Amino acid sequence: MKKDILHIGITGTRSGLSEYQYAEVIKFLNSAFEPGAVFHHGDCIGVDVEVAWVAKELGYKIVGHPPMKKELRGYFDDDETMPAKNYFARNRDIVNESFVLMVVPWQMEHQDNGGTWYTHDYADKNDKPLVIFWPEEKNEKGA
């Protein structure tokens, strides 16, 4: 990873983006973009592939970190594809290769299980900046 180039990673639900998340993700990726920026995703159906399309349209270089299991793989046409790994290993790679992690959950609060929250927690433990895109707008009281 080149230190002078922006690398953004993502983790999210296989159920896909809500309308609210879609609008917020576009705003974020637009505002963060700079020439040469790189977008890392896990190449699964749902959020990974949906946001990879947005990032590609905006001009990001797309790097896929596919899972070994093929049942949920999205087979996105990446600019670069890393070797397939198990879900946890590839999620750690996405975090490790990124300067900031986009988290796009299905739920409106943190969960104790699931790949999205595992990846969130790994990033948090490693002091990686996180941007959470909740399915709906949250008010000051969190709901």
**DSSP reduced 3-state for 103:** strand
* pLDDT at 116 exceeding the cut of 80: yes
Residue 84, token pair as written in the block = 């397939």
Mean pLDDT score, 31-42: 97
pLDDT value, residue 111: 85
- Asked whether residue 24 is domain-assigned, the answer is yes
pLDDT value, residue 114: 86
- Asked whether residue 84 is domain-assigned, the answer is yes
**DSSP reduced 3-state for 55:** helix
pLDDT value, residue 123: 97
140 confidence band (pLDDT: 50, 70, 90)? low
- Asked whether residue 50 is domain-assigned, the answer is yes
* pLDDT at 110 exceeding the cut of 90: no
Q: What is the CATH number of the domain that holds 93?
A: 3.40.50.450
pTM (two decimals): 0.92
